[in-house]
């Protein structure tokens, strides 16, 4: 779907996204490199787990987020370099409620609160 | 009869909402966008544990409000369609210092006695707390859980209140900065910065820090001062934190809000890197997994503090029909302000007893 406007002339390097190897010209924005390789879904949102990919490509929308060294970064603002390891942000388990284990006796306390 | 309410923050709007629900007519005068606005910068807690350690009636008043909160939030949702994300599953305060924990336990025990024993909280050691909140780090020695505590989205609350007041026929004017008041018993005329005037037969001064200037015109001392607090918020994270604390809570949109410093530096709402770093360090001490997480925003806001930190509810001794309301905990007390304060404002018989909170104590 996405193709580069200019023929690649720079050094071709390899990077890893979500366990897969990709090749791109060094310095290409990571978001552009992934889109060029056919990856459009970069992450799931942390609250509702709905899919997200690049939208603005200029650092404004924060939708193209990925993780490098456990830190969330914008893929459109990250130049590809050789050996870069990029992780997908872990998909949240939205089916499960957050752990809810109020101390024993708290139900009574809650009754007291309502009373 | 129209009641003028000076101040369109959570305090003023909650009173307006309650008066409108009783069929009264209100005109709310909200200041300018450049004004200090605790309602737009606060932490969003509906918090009970530890409040009123030296004043049981403040504890009881806060508790009464917390009990009224579910119905209040439901009223707002029915009227406006806005779900303000109230959660009252309880709250946890985290401790990294043995002495601080011991002191707090002693304070809560003594308050529990003072309010007649009905004051549920539990002391948890590190392993007990880890069962409740598995993400705590090794520096957390223990904590205090209380089912009385909760939190809410304070910006949605402000939005819902504005909308509710208008839907019930209240007149809410924004950018209406009050610069002067001409007062007589049951006849008040206020002058706005743009030259307009507004008239009413009763008046409620709920202007936050602005009250110190306007109060004397209605016969109030209005001894309020600014106390600065800074707050940080992280990028959105998958939900992990069920229980808010006084310093850490995960908001309904997923971000972890980190607060809150206390600085007596006057009306200065600028952040500083030293304070931000200290707050972030505390958050990582409690939850080490937050270390690589990005902060997306930080801000400072000003608490509205009376000399002893307790609310002030005062009827003017100079002009019949004038009331002064101020408090630090406008969110926690919002439900009481909407449901109980209207009777006190209009002066009917079913007034809540607020004599402990008069200005006479200063």
Query: For residue A3, what pLDDT is reported?
Result: 84
B145–A102: do the CB atoms touch at under 8 Å? yes
B272 versus A4: which is more confidently predicted? B272
C-alpha dihedral, B21 to B23 to B26 to B30, nearest 10°: 10
The alpha-carbon gap from B293 to the nearest alpha carbon of chain A, in Å, equals 6
Let me know: does B161 contact B153? Beta carbons within 8 Å: no
Contacts B120 to A, Cβ<8 Å: 105-106, 108-109, 112-113
Please, which pLDDT band fits residue A5 given cuts at 50, 70 and 90?
confident
Summarised one tens digit per residue, pLDDT across range B145-175 is: 999 999 999 999 999 999 999 999 999 999 9
Which of B239, B240, B244 should one mutate to test binding to chain A, selecting the residue with the greatest count of A CBs within 10 A? B239
Relative to beta strand A51-52, strand A43-44 is antiparallel
Let me know: does B12 contact B183? Beta carbons within 8 Å: no
Query: Chain B contact for A47, CB < 8 A?
Result: yes
Which of B147, B237, B256 should one mutate to test binding to chain A, selecting the residue with the greatest count of A CBs within 10 A? B147
B26 versus A115: which is more confidently predicted? B26
pTM of the entire structure? Answer: 0.91
Q: How far is it, in rounded angstroms, from Cα A24 to Cα A31?
A: 11
In 3D space, the residue among B38, B17, B22 whose CA is nearest the CA of residue B162 turns out to be: B17
Contacts A112 to B, Cβ<8 Å: 118, 120
Summarised one tens digit per residue, pLDDT across range A30-70 is: 999 999 999 999 999 998 899 999 999 999 999 999 999 99
Query: For residue A105, what pLDDT is reported?
Result: 43
What superfamily in CATH does domain B2-80+154-224+308-361 come from? FAD/NAD(P)-binding domain (3.50.50.60)
Query: Chain B contact for A99, CB < 8 A?
Result: yes
- List, edge to edge, every strand of the sheet that includes A20-25: A20-25, A12-17, A85-86
Query: For residue A103, what pLDDT is reported?
Result: 52
Query: For residue B78, what pLDDT is reported?
Result: 98
Sign of the Cα torsion B144, B150, B153, B159 reads negative
Sign of the Cα torsion B64, B68, B70, B76 reads negative
**pLDDT value at A109 more than 60:** no
Residue of B nearest to A101 (CA): B132
Largest CA distance in chain B: 63
E strand intervals along chain B: 2-6, 25-29, 45-46, 91-95, 122-125, 142-146, 150-151, 171-173, 178-184, 187-192, 197-200, 202-205, 225-236, 248-250, 255-258, 295-305, 312-315, 322-326
The fold of the A14-93 domain, in CATH, is Ubiquitin-like (UB roll) (3.10.20)
Residue of B nearest to A96 (CA): B239
Largest CA distance in chain A: 74
The alpha-carbon gap from A98 to the nearest alpha carbon of chain B, in Å, equals 6
- Run of H or E residues at A21: strand A20-25
- CATH number of the domain located at residue range(s) B226-305 in this protein: 3.30.9.10
A46–B236: do the CB atoms touch at under 8 Å? yes
Contacts B239 to A, Cβ<8 Å: 47, 92, 98
Please, which pLDDT band fits residue A113 given cuts at 50, 70 and 90?
very low
ipTM over 0.95: no
Domain boundaries, chain A: 14-93
**Closest to A113 (Cβ–Cβ): which among B67, B128, B242?**
B67
Q: How far is it, in rounded angstroms, from Cα B211 to Cα B10?
A: 15
Contacts A113 to B, Cβ<8 Å: 63, 66-67, 88, 120, 147-148
Query: Chain B contact for A59, CB < 8 A?
Result: no
Domain boundaries, chain B: 2-80+154-224+308-361, 91-147, 226-305
Q: What angle do CA B278, B279, B282 make, to 5 degrees?
A: 90
Tokens representing A31?
A: 């978001």
- Run of H or E residues at B335: helix B334-339
**Closest to B120 (Cβ–Cβ): which among A46, A47, A109?**
A109
Please, which pLDDT band fits residue A102 given cuts at 50, 70 and 90?
low
Summarised one tens digit per residue, pLDDT across range B283-341 is: 999 999 999 999 999 999 999 999 999 999 999 999 999 999 999 999 999 999 999 99
pLDDT beneath 50, residues of chain B: none
Sign of the Cα torsion B263, B268, B271, B272 reads negative
- DSSP class of B12: H
Which of A52, A74, A94, A106 should one mutate to test binding to chain B, selecting the residue with the greatest count of B CBs within 10 A? A106
Interface residues on B facing A, Cβ-Cβ cutoff 8 A: 63, 66-67, 88-90, 118, 120, 122, 124, 128, 131-132, 134, 145-148, 235-242, 253-254, 292-294
Q: How far is it, in rounded angstroms, from Cα A108 to Cα B15?
A: 32
Query: For residue A93, what pLDDT is reported?
Result: 80
Q: How many CB atoms lie within 10 A of CB B2?
A: 16
Look at residue B200 and give its three-state secondary structure: strand
Sign of the Cα torsion B6, B10, B11, B17 reads positive
């Amino acid at each position: 779907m996405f193709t580069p406007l200019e023929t690649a002339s720079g050094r071709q390097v390899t990077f890893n996204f979500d366990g897969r190897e990709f090749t791109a010209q060094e310095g290409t924005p990571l978001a552009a490199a992934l889109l060029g390789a056919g990856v459009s879904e970069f992450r799931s949102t942390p609250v509702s787990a709905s899919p997200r990919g690049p939208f603005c490509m200029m650092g404004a929308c924060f939708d193209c987020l990925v993780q490098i060294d456990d830190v969330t970064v914008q893929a459109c603002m990250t130049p590809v370099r050789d050996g870069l390891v990029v992780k997908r942000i872990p998909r949240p388990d939205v089916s499960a409620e957050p752990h809810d284990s109020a101390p024993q006796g708290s139900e009574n306390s809650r009754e007291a609160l309502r009373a | 009869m129209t009641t003028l309410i000076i101040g369109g923050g959570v305090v003023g709007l909650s009173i307006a909402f309650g008066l409108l629900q009783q069929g009264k007519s209100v005109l709310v005068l909200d200041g300018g966008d450049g004004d200090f606005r605790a309602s737009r910068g606060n932490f969003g807690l509906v918090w009970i544990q530890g409040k009123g350690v030296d004043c049981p009636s403040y504890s009881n008043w806060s508790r009464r409000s917390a009990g009224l909160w579910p119905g209040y939030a439901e009223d707002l949702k029915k009227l406006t369609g806005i779900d303000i994300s109230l959660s009252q599953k309880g709250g946890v305060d985290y401790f990294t210092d043995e002495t601080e924990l011991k002191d707090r336990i002693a304070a809560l025990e003594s308050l529990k006695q003072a309010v007649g024993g009905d004051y549920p909280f539990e002391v948890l050691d590190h392993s007990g707390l880890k069962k409740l909140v598995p993400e705590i780090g090794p520096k957390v020695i223990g904590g205090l859980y209380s089912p009385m505590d909760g939190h809410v989205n304070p910006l949605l609350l402000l939005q819902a209140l504005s909308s509710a007041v208008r839907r019930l026929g209240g007149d809410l004017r924004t950018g209406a900065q009050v610069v002067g008041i001409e007062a007589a018993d049951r006849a008040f005329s206020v002058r706005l910065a743009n030259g307009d005037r507004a008239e009413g037969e009763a008046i409620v001064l709920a202007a936050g820090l602005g009250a110190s200037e306007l109060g004397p015109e209605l016969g109030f001392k209005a001894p309020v001062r600014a106390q600065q607090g800074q707050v940080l918020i992280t990028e959105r994270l998958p939900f992990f934190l069920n229980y808010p604390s006084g310093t850490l809570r995960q908001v309904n949109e997923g971000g972890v809000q980190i607060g809150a410093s206390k600085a007596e530096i006057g009306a200065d709402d600028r952040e500083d890197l030293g304070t931000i770093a200290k707050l972030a360090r505390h958050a990582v001490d409690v939850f080490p997994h937050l270390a690589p997480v990005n902060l997306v925003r930080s801000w400072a806001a000003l608490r509205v503090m009376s000399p002893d930190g307790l609310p002030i509810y005062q009827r003017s001794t100079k002009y019949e029909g004038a009331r002064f309301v101020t408090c630090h905990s406008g969110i926690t007390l919002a439900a009481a302000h909407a449901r109980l304060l209207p009777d006190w404002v209009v002066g009917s018989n079913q007034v809540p007893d607020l004599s402990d909170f008069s200005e006479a104590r200063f």
